[in-house]
Structure 1
Amino acid sequence: MTRKRAKGSRGPGRQAGRVRLLLAAFMLVTVPGQIQAAQKSTLIVNARIVDGSGSPARAASVRVEGDTIKAVGELTPRAGEQVIDAAGHLLSPGFIDTHSHHDGGLFEAPDALPVISQGITTIIVGQDGGSELPLSPLFERMRKHPVAVNIGSYIGHNSVRAAVLGEDYKRKATAAEIEHMRTLVREGMEAGAIGLSTGLEYDPGIYSSKEEVLILAKEAARFGGRYISHMRSEDRFIWDALDEIVEIGRVTGMPVQVSHMKLAMTDLWGQADRFLGVMNRARAAGVDITGDVYPYEYWQSTLTVMFPDRDFTNRKAAEFALQQIAKPEGLLLSSFSPDPSLVGKTVADVAKQRGIDPTDALMQLIAESQAPGAEESVIGTSMDSKDVAKLIAWPYSNISSDGQLAGRHPRGTGAFPRVLRLYVRDQPLLTLEQAIHKMTGAAAAHMGMADRGLIRPGMKADLVLFDPDRIADRATSEDPNALSVGVQRVWVNGEQVFEDSRPTGVRSGRTILRSAPVKTKAAP
């Protein structure tokens, strides 16, 4: 509480008055009863509560004071309290996107409409090994210019490796270089990073040794950090890649998470049980391993990611990619700076347009994308829906989007409502309570967040009110930015950021810094 001194305010009487004012201000800050009296209070009544724990839905009211949930149950409105009638709709914790790329352009679009319209209140960025470096300026910018959602971040291995090795990255790092990387990881952890993320299928991380990654993971573990990974392979070498992340969890003792779990090769389809068997055996042996999943059979990445040996002129490698990873008609160009007119076309379309076979078309596109400054990305259809469903149903998986604010993949705008529409209503795989647990309580636990993800007194008031019979995704490959429907209100840290299909203009998001470890639990 700051007050300007009036001109000429001198003398013992006025000095005593100032002392009384300062004392009153001090008491306002330190006396709990007076803090509560001064805080804004909101009561949400006639709600059907799904609290994020997996417990059955129940009728109750929720009182929010300031940024915190103060009470849940049969509550009577207070004088002057804002009362919101939920009209029997469902109130849940705000959804937590544990693998997000929505930070790109977020400070230019701080209302984060594609995010909050899904009911997402927290995004975790710094994924696939790519993060801000250093991290502290991101956190400081968030403090000075908040957006409508909370943001937490990992420190990215690829970003760290690129900073140390520069253009000379196609090799193993020296001991001195690894020590330099370890210093950068330590600085990220000291700034509040959740842990270390890797993108071992991407440059420059693909060239790193297992020893390098383990040393850096150990550094993050020293701070109580976590490890999350886009593994070295999601297709040809998936079993070795899965063994690597299990070993990191076993050696370090830190929680480890497989990013966007998938079996992205036709020969792997139907082997979700084998994949989860590895995870279950690791958990039984004491490794705290979890995973996140998005509800689509197609991914978005680069054309080059399909070539683990980076042999882009190898025709056999290109043929294998088109036979086993994704068919030519299932590879849709989502960006292509050498020729933007190709965006929205498949490799099959390009082959037909150029009068060549699909293998040559793929190799040509990659060659053109290797020009300095050129960029490309592709949406590849290469998963089986039954495998996706099994991975989502696993008790230790949570939902993520892997999405962007304005990307070509519909996951950025529709992932969370899609789960509620597809896997709760249309093709019942999960109960409503199980699905919400995967989006809230489980997600919070997997990220080590102790104060979010549940509707309980003392938790931060990140909340979403929605119609469970109406919530649905509308985004498609043809219209990837179509907003979801069915979400009615969203609160972030007790402030309403979304109402009646539009942002309120309130930007109450905060930086999520690493907190004490939280033991992962399955849904009841």
Structure 2
Amino acid sequence: MLVNKSKLFGQYSITRIATALCSLVLGAALASHSSAEADIGALQSSTLIYNARIIDGSESPAYLGAVRVINDGIVELGDLSPRPGEYVIDAKGLVLAPGFIDTHSHHDDDGALAKHPDALPLLTQGITTSVFGQDGGHNYPLGGFLKGFDQNPSSVNVASYVGHNTLRDRVMGDDAKRVATEVEVDAMRAMLLEELAAGALGLSTGLEYEPGIYSQTAEVLVLAKATAAQGGRYISHVRSEDRFLWDAMDEIIEIGKQTGMPVQISHIKLAAKNLWGQSSTLLKKLEAARAEGINITADVYPYEYWQSTMWVLLPDRNADNLDEIKFVLEQLTPASGVIFTRFEPNPSYVNQSVAEIAALRGSSEVQTFSALLKEADAWSQAHDGASAESIMGKSMTESDIEAFIAWKHSNICSDGGFEGHPRGHGAFPRVLAHYVRDKNVIALETAVAAMTSRAADHLGFTGRGRIAPGMKADLVLFDPDTIQDHAGIRDGQVLSTGVHSVWVNGQLVLDDGAATGARSGRVLRRAL
């Protein structure tokens, strides 16, 4: 932290410390810290951060000033003087912004955040809130999942959607590769209402994935209308991001039109060569929908590579269709751009591309792709249906990414986790370094808004995403001249740098790039 730590004890009166200790005895919920310095931070209730370049999330120009935090909230900002006994921090002209909100995250996959509650890959990006339940999948039952974070908080706030694919799996089981019956849709709806009552933000779909790919729009609409009636929202990995993109856009627009609720496109992209350069056409389509009163938005991550499975490239799920595989490698993603982050039948293939594996095997790229699909499927069947592989595929182009980042109704997301794609460790700093500082695609104030207030609006959060009196004190202090992502496609788990300090609900959770041990994150539930 940018403060003279040797003088901390001098800032506390005997009465102030005694009062804090009494509150501990009475059971006040103060976070547990791993160091004496962090313990001192827990005892104080008022913090003044001064000499900060404040970017408040509204897109207004940055200004030099101070912010006062009492307990978990922002109470005052401007030209402020320290109060007696106040914890004072000299920001030394660095940017102080609202904490970044990751609207589409997989940092909960396989219980990862619960296993790593210090959330260092998130905090070193400036992320203070992470939203789960994406692509149609969520932790079921949601009430128990969220209660786990109530009882054992992490260093970041969490929230979740309800996943359509999860509901479909629970209701239809192994027989989910077909259109659902009316009775089955009603059963999904009943489960959905239970999960919404647990505080879910709304409904998420992954219509390019199993088993959502087998659903009809009518099924999704039943669930979406039920969600809208409860004041929820809709977020979707749409039915296609490549060859059937325009039909997929029509579907989500129609869902927004019929339900009247906000709808969000997950990780908007143009993932096919014949679509490259058509970002302006897509954005005009979305703006036309907005002009009709449809509240459609998008989130976007700053990479040309996506991460999913090999099967997502084959709508017919046929590993023997070599003509289809040839089309995929020629038009959607080249064999050199398909890189494994996991391959259970042969873990040595991790970080290798299909082109490299084909060369090792002495086989064509098409035949190799087909064979790898079959090997993964055989492994999965032998292990009770467990997922056998994960890939990154290069399918996007830089100019389209820039256009989506610059759209005034998009916000930044990571779509990442603790493993795999580098976006889980670097998405937010990459935007600030590459698209703001290096390429000047958007202004710094606009980028911060896309990570904070805009994201909060898209989620329905009213108390976060801005620096203003009455807002929760989720804050990030970073150096715009040095902030940088370091995770790469073949070394995805390298921490970002340039984020100096992070506060979550008023508590310091990252100090000079190191976790403090504070676990001040909260579960953010939809208002019921």
Normalised by the length of structure 1, the TM-score is 0.90
Deviations 1:454-477 (A, max 9, x none): 000000000000111111111111
Secondary structure of 2:175's aligned partner: coil
Corresponding residue for 2:400? 387
| Match runs of 1:181-330 below 5 Å | 181-330=188-337
2:44–2:87 Cα contact (<8 Å) kept: no
Q: Does 1:74 align with 2:79?
A: yes
What is the distance in 2 between the residues matched to 1:173 and 1:39? 56
What is the distance in 2 between the residues matched to 1:457 and 1:375? 49
> Which residue, 178, 181, 185 being the options, matches 1:171?
178
1:448–1:515 Cα contact (<8 Å) kept: no
What is the distance in 2 between the residues matched to 1:515 and 1:471? 35
Of 85-94 and 367-376, deviating more is 367-376
Structure 1: stretches of 5+ with no match in the other structure: 1-20, 26-37, 517-524
Q: Does 1:156 align with 2:163?
A: yes
What is the distance in 2 between the residues matched to 1:454 and 1:302? 37
Corresponding residue for 1:95? 100
Q: Does 1:142 align with 2:154?
A: no
2:422–2:492 Cα contact (<8 Å) kept: yes
Corresponding residue for 1:360? 367
Q: Does 1:477 align with 2:489?
A: yes
For 2:506, the aligned partner's letter is G
1:52–1:441 Cα contact (<8 Å) kept: yes
Secondary structure of 2:284's aligned partner: helix
For 2:410, the aligned partner's letter is S
What is the distance in 1 between the residues matched to 2:486 and 2:208? 31
| Match runs of 1:8-19 below 5 Å | none
Corresponding residue for 1:53? 58
Secondary structure of 2:294's aligned partner: coil
Secondary structure of 1:179's aligned partner: helix
Instruction: Give how far 1:75 is off.
Output: 1.2
For 1:386, the aligned partner's letter is S
Q: Does 1:399 align with 2:412?
A: yes
How many percent identity over aligned positions? 54
Structure 2: stretches of 5+ with no match in the other structure: 1-21, 27-42
Deviations 1:321-340 (A, max 9, x none): 10111001010011000110
Deviations 1:342-366 (A, max 9, x none): 1111100111111110000000000
Instruction: Give how far 1:408 is off.
Output: 2.2
Instruction: Give how far 1:76 is off.
Output: 1.4
Secondary structure of 1:313's aligned partner: coil
1:318–1:363 Cα contact (<8 Å) kept: yes
Secondary structure of 1:370's aligned partner: helix
Deviations 1:87-129 (A, max 9, x none): 1111000000000001121111100100001000000100000
What is the distance in 2 between the residues matched to 1:484 and 1:334? 20
1:450–1:515 Cα contact (<8 Å) kept: no
Q: Does 1:424 align with 2:440?
A: no
For 1:42, the aligned partner's letter is T
Counterparts in 2 of 1:39 and 1:192: CA distance versus 1, 3 Å = farther
> Which residue, 415, 427, 445 being the options, matches 1:433?
445
1:300–1:378 Cα contact (<8 Å) kept: yes
Instruction: Give how far 1:302 is off.
Output: 0.3
Secondary structure of 1:390's aligned partner: helix
What is the distance in 1 between the residues matched to 2:301 and 2:293? 26
2:333–2:395 Cα contact (<8 Å) kept: yes
What is the distance in 2 between the residues matched to 1:60 and 1:286? 39
Q: Does 1:454 align with 2:459?
A: no
For 1:98, the aligned partner's letter is T
What is the distance in 2 between the residues matched to 1:451 and 1:39? 23
Instruction: Give how far 1:505 is off.
Output: 0.4
For 1:110, the aligned partner's letter is P
What is the distance in 2 between the residues matched to 1:138 and 1:292? 25
What is the distance in 2 between the residues matched to 1:111 and 1:364? 40
User: Across the two proteins, how many residue pairs are aligned to each other?
Assistant: 480
Secondary structure of 2:393's aligned partner: strand
Instruction: Give how far 1:515 is off.
Output: 3.6
What is the distance in 1 between the residues matched to 2:254 and 2:87? 52
1:301–1:378 Cα contact (<8 Å) kept: yes
Instruction: Give how far 1:414 is off.
Output: 0.3
Instruction: Give how far 1:48 is off.
Output: 0.7
Corresponding residue for 2:91? 86
Question: Which one has a bigger Cα radius of gyration?
Answer: 1
Normalised by the length of structure 2, the TM-score is 0.90
2:421–2:492 Cα contact (<8 Å) kept: yes
Flag as ranges the 4+ runs of structure 1 deviating above 3 A. none
Corresponding residue for 2:11? none
1:449–1:515 Cα contact (<8 Å) kept: no
For 1:440, the aligned partner's letter is T
Of 370-379 and 125-134, deviating more is 370-379
What is the distance in 1 between the residues matched to 2:61 and 2:527? 28
For 1:397, the aligned partner's letter is S
What is the distance in 1 between the residues matched to 2:295 and 2:250? 14
Secondary structure of 1:254's aligned partner: coil
Instruction: Give how far 1:39 is off.
Output: 7.2
What is the distance in 2 between the residues matched to 1:249 and 1:437? 24
Q: Does 1:505 align with 2:510?
A: no
Secondary structure of 1:78's aligned partner: coil
2:44–2:86 Cα contact (<8 Å) kept: no
Corresponding residue for 1:119? 126
Secondary structure of 2:159's aligned partner: strand
What is the distance in 2 between the residues matched to 1:477 and 1:139? 32
For 2:448, the aligned partner's letter is I
What is the distance in 2 between the residues matched to 1:267 and 1:360? 24
